[in-house]
Amino acid sequence: MSWKKNKLLFFEKYPDEACFVLGIDLGNSMSSISYFDLLRKDPVIIDISGGYGKQNFPSVIQYVHDSKEWVFGEYALLNANSKHDLKLTNLMSKLGYKEYFDINGKPVSFVNIYSRYIKELIGNCKNLNPKAEVSGIVVSIPSYIKDEAFDELKQAFNLAGYEKLVISYTQDRECIFKRYFHKKELQKEKILLLDFGHNELRGGIYDVSVEKGTVGSLPGRGFGGSHIDINCLSSVFDPDIGEGQIESLVRELVYGHLYENTGKGQKDFSYEEKEQIVSFIYNYKDLIFQKQNDKKPLKLYYNFIYPPFSSSITKDQIDLMIKGFEEKFNVFISNLFRKSNEKVRVQEIDSVICTGGGFEMHFARNICTEYFGSERVTFYKNSKGAISEGAAIIAAENLSLIEPRSISISDRKQINREIGIQIFQNNQYKFHTMIEKNSFWWNSKKECFFIVNEEIKDDISIDVFERNTNLETEKITSLDLDNFSGRDSSRIERPKGVTRLKLTMAFLKHNLLNIIVEDAGFGDIFKKSGYKKEFQIEIAG
């Protein structure tokens, strides 16, 4: 059955609780899955642990060589690993590279392996209702995902058997806003969105306007159709502020305790012991930062070491660990407002939305609350799960189970195409990417060196191209380097293959590309002539 056929059936008969409408967030370190509660008309995150652990599903897959079994999520993360086993982490980052892994002497593609993870994740619906049938799925994807990775993600869902049930692949920001606006009184406001993930902290300032009653009605199923127009004014990310960096601080602390009590450094522990240390850090990380306001020292019990021992960590030590994060957070917020398209002050922000696994740590919530004030900040019970909850709401709207609130996000911060030059290599011209698609214009500066493979006379012309999703190239402009050879005393003509140029591209604003071409010289044969020419090109779209 496809989700479109289910939608037609739902027009005749409202679905019962055996029909699961799902939203999925496939994160790099953690994933989550939510269903739409048909009675309360609210999204609910599925507790993978059944109430005995953490709701989110670690993005980890393990193939146990001895038993020839696949293990997923927290079981894979905490399971002892031998050198013969295959354990894959940070799964989203592996998409798009056409990787293969050896499984019992046979090459198995990562896409095939990832499809098993997806089946396991969705299979958790059966824990709630063994007779459950999936009616439709919306999958959240990062706004910065590359085309190659996206293609492999879709292949994985197809291999998992859910091709016809996937309603859409929706950007994570839209899922977050869907969760925020669900059942909320709509009004014009300025919103600051903070997503504290494993790899980085991302932030954006958004101007929200609302058109009410613009969508058709669904009697008895909704809350009034509306259109929400969201304009991104600023967007910043910092890879030095991520949940992974906090985990590194805990790792340093743990290895410090181990050295003090055993005399062994990180390199001295066996492969099996290091696996146990990874599990130990995973179990204690959240507890450490939840105890920061407790005056009593927190004891860590190293029972996996012989002889076992315990070490204490005080509130002052924890405060010292997070001090650097507080300073970086303040700088991050300052940059976010400084790089805005419009002048926006902190006082003008009406709401602050906090999502991502990092905001499940109390200290991160406290820092944010102290900066903006508790009345403006929205935290979710499960900060990571808010994205999958938003995806479940989108699924319910697409199946006409609730009145849709359409959202459009305009964002001129990201480049929507590749920009580069053609380089002659191996007897053919190849596209060389200078500006990557989905990169941010303010962080786009790239440079390259190349040799002009033709005899230099008076002028040189360099063509600049853009490339779309279908890998089709179109010329944007030609850079005419007039009088390059310079028929004067300062320059001489150069034969073929000895002219080296430096090309630098950077956006001055979202639609203005700055290109600088310089003579880079050719070793001792030709010194730099000092030739330099600058171009400014308006980019449409």
Asked if the bond preceding 142 is cis, omega within 30° of 0, the reply is no
In the CATH scheme, what architecture does the domain 3-241+351-410 have? 2-Layer Sandwich (3.30)
The pLDDT of residue 495 is 76
- Cβ neighbours of 401 (radius 10 Å): 24
pLDDT at position 70:
96
Which CA distances in Å does 407 have to 100, 109, 145, 438, 457?
Answer: 39, 37, 20, 20, 55
Element (H, E) at 372: helix 362-372
Residues 521 and 349: their CA atoms lie apart, in Å, by 51
Which residues are within 8 A (CB) of 75 and not within 5 positions of it... i.e. 6 or more apart?
A: 62
The alpha carbons of the chain give a radius of gyration, in whole angstroms, of 27
Angle at 282 between CA 281 and CA 288, to 5 degrees: 65
Instruction: Express each pLDDT in 300-346 by its tens digit.
Output: 999 988 899 999 998 888 888 888 888 999 999 998 998 787 889 99
CATH no., domain 418-538? 2.60.34.10
What is the value of pTM for the model shown? Answer: 0.80
pLDDT (tens digit per residue) in 186-195? 999 999 999 9
Report CA 197 to chain centroid distance, whole Å: 8
CA distance 167 to 169: 7
E strand intervals along 123-274: 133-141, 166-171, 189-196, 201-212, 226-238
The structure tokens 């102290």 sit at 370
Residue ranges of the chain that CATH labels 3.30.420.40: 3-241+351-410
Question: Please, which residues have CB within 8 angstroms of residue 481's CB and are 6 or more apart in sequence?
Answer: 459, 460, 461, 462, 517, 531, 533
Q: What is the pLDDT of residue 226?
A: 83
User: Collapsing DSSP states into helix, strand and coil, what is residue 231?
Assistant: strand
Taking phi over 0 as left and psi of -120 to 50 as alpha, with beta for the rest, 486 belongs to: left
Residues of the chain with CATH 2.60.34.10: 418-538
Residue 472 tokens, joined: 């089709």
Tell me the sheet residues that pair with 428.
425
Tell me the one-letter amino acid at 466: E
| Secondary structure of residue 189 in the 3-state scheme | strand
Give me the residues of the chain with pLDDT under 50, please: 214-217, 219-220, 222-223, 487-490
- CA contacts within 13 A on the Cβ side of 461: 4
Strands 189-196 and 351-355: parallel
What whole-number distance in Å separates Cα of residue 351 and Cα of residue 180?
A: 10
